[in-house]
């Protein structure tokens, strides 16, 4: 369901942005989110970090690499009060997302783009109810909320390699997490669910299976495959997600629709994204840049898709606990 709200200031060139977690440590995305907002014409005016030293390091990176002149804080509440941003990008570890989301919603003045998953904590009760409360706070404030799930932005370029299918029967994806553990569900599956939502809409999962180093994927050194059926209003999709432990970039990534695969690669040092499939190569823009542009467009068009956010949390919760159980059984 898409909900209308007041967008406040219009285009990207008038949005004042605050980034929480702008330093790229381990595999954090905050630095690149700040860069994408900057490229879109926004004013990245402030960042929030965990310590004065980490804030200074992040400010120096943004200034030196992208010419972004920002102010730094170690307290989000203080930053919101002083800066009064139009947009807050939450790029901190997911265990801290809910607290940040609630602070932004409580302030009532900013739209919010949050790194995936939207939030996750253990032992907190009904996650769907808590998620609905967070969404409702943004709706009550007439503010927009979305997650950083940029893979659907690649679909128009995939369709330049392969025609759009009349029916989605099978969807496969490969990703390269730093570690192989049940936590990869929280890190990786919001991307996969966003692809399924973009392709066929709301769904539910059934028949979850877990395979370690399955023969079909052995040539690609796949560590684990998670499979399930995705049932939606028009049918059912067989989904398989393969994971290869990849401590360092570049990490393998790609997907296949009805068996037609395209691997996403990055050409260095230009950092040019491209698809490679059966000898064919197709360059395409940075999906994060495209996602930020779509986020800003949705502000202008007053669209908030709460169904996507709620369905994503419901699927994530169900899959995580099933995978955790299967993982423990070995």
Residue 123: give its domain's CATH number: 3.40.50.720
**For residue 226, what is the domain's CATH number?**
3.30.360
How many CB atoms sit inside 10 A of residue 212's CB? Answer: 11
- Same domain, yes or no: 180 and 240: yes
Which of 240, 254, 237 has its CA nearest to residue 174?
A: 254
22 with 109, same domain: the answer is yes
208 and 187 within one domain: yes
Query: Are 138 and 161 in a shared domain?
Result: no
Q: Looking at the structure, do residues 96 and 210 belong to the same domain, yes or no?
A: no
CA 37 – CA 68 distance, rounded (Å): 10
> Does 106 fall in a domain?
yes
| Last residue in a domain, options 148, 164, 192 | 148
Can you give the pTM of this predicted structure? 0.93
Q: Is the CB of residue 128 less than 8 Å from the CB of residue 153?
A: no
Q: Are residues 143 and 169 in the same domain?
A: no
Q: Where are the alpha helices (DSSP H) in the chain?
A: 30-39, 52-66, 76-83, 97-107, 127-140, 155-161, 184-200, 287-301, 306-329
Flag whether 208 is in a domain.
Answer: yes
* 323 within some domain: yes
Asked if residue 255 is part of any domain, the answer here is yes
Number of helical H runs and strand E runs in the chain: 9, 16
25-48 pLDDT per residue, tens = 656 799 999 999 999 999 999 999
Looking at the structure, do residues 193 and 74 belong to the same domain, yes or no? no
Which of 122, 148, 174 is the C-terminal boundary of a domain? 148
Portion of the chain with pLDDT greater than 70, in percent = 95
Asked if 168 and 113 sit in the same domain, the reply is no
Residue 304 lies in a domain: no
Query: How many distinct structural domains can be found in the chain?
Result: 2
Does residue 311 sit within a domain? no
Give the mean pLDDT of 147-154.
Answer: 98
Q: 244 — alpha (psi -120 to 50), left (phi > 0) or beta? A: beta
One domain for residues 164 and 286? yes
**Could you tell me if 214 and 132 lie in one domain?**
no
Model confidence over 64-123: pLDDT tens digits?
Answer: 999 999 999 999 999 999 999 999 999 999 999 999 999 999 999 999 999 999 999 988
Q: How many CA atoms lie within 13 A of 64 on its CB side?
A: 7
pLDDT tens digits along 185-213: 999 999 999 999 999 999 999 999 999 98
- Does residue 173 fall inside a structural domain? yes
Pair (183, 121) in one structural domain: no
User: Do 13 and 118 share a domain, yes or no?
Assistant: yes
Q: Which two tokens stand for residue 165?
A: 């299918």
Q: Which of 95, 119, 148 is the last residue of a domain?
A: 148
CA gap 250, 253 in Å, rounded: 9
Domain of residue 93 covers 2-148
């Amino acid at each position: 369901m898409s909900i209308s709200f007041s967008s406040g200031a219009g285009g990207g060139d008038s949005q004042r942005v605050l980034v929480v977690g702008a330093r790229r440590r381990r595999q954090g995305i905050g630095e690149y989110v700040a860069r994408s907002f900057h490229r879109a014409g926004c004013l990245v005016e402030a960042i929030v970090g965990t310590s004065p030293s980490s804030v200074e390091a992040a400010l120096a990176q943004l200034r030196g690499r992208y010419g972004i002149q920002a102010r730094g804080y170690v307290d989000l509440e203080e930053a919101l009060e002083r800066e009064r941003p139009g947009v807050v990008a939450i790029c901190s570890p997911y265990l801290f997302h809910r607290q940040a989301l609630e602070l932004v919603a409580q302030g009532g003045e900013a739209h919010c783009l949050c790194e995936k998953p939207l939030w996750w904590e253990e032992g907190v009760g009904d996650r769907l109810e808590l998620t609905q409360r967070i969404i409702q706070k943004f709706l009550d404030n007439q503010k927009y909320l979305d997650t950083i799930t940029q893979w659907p932005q690649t679909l128009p370029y995939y369709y330049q390699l392969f025609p759009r299918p009349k029916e989605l029967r099978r969807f496969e994806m490969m990703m390269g997490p730093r570690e192989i553990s049940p936590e990869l569900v929280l890190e990786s599956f919001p991307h996969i669910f966003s692809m399924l939502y973009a392709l066929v809409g709301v769904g539910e999962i059934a028949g979850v299976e877990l395979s370690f180093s399955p023969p079909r994927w052995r040539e690609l050194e796949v560590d684990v495959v998670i499979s399930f059926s995705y049932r939606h209003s028009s049918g059912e999709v067989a989904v398989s997600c393969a994971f290869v432990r990849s401590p360092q970039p570049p990490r393998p990534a790609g997907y296949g629709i009805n068996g037609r695969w395209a691997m996403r690669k990055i050409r260095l040092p230009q950092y040019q994204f491209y698809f490679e499939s059966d000898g064919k190569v197709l360059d395409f823009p940075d999906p994060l840049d495209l996602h930020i542009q779509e986020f800003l467009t949705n502000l202008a068009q007053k669209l908030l898709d709460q169904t996507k956010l709620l369905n994503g949390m419901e699927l994530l919760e169900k899959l995580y606990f099933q995978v955790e159980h299967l993982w423990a059984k070995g």
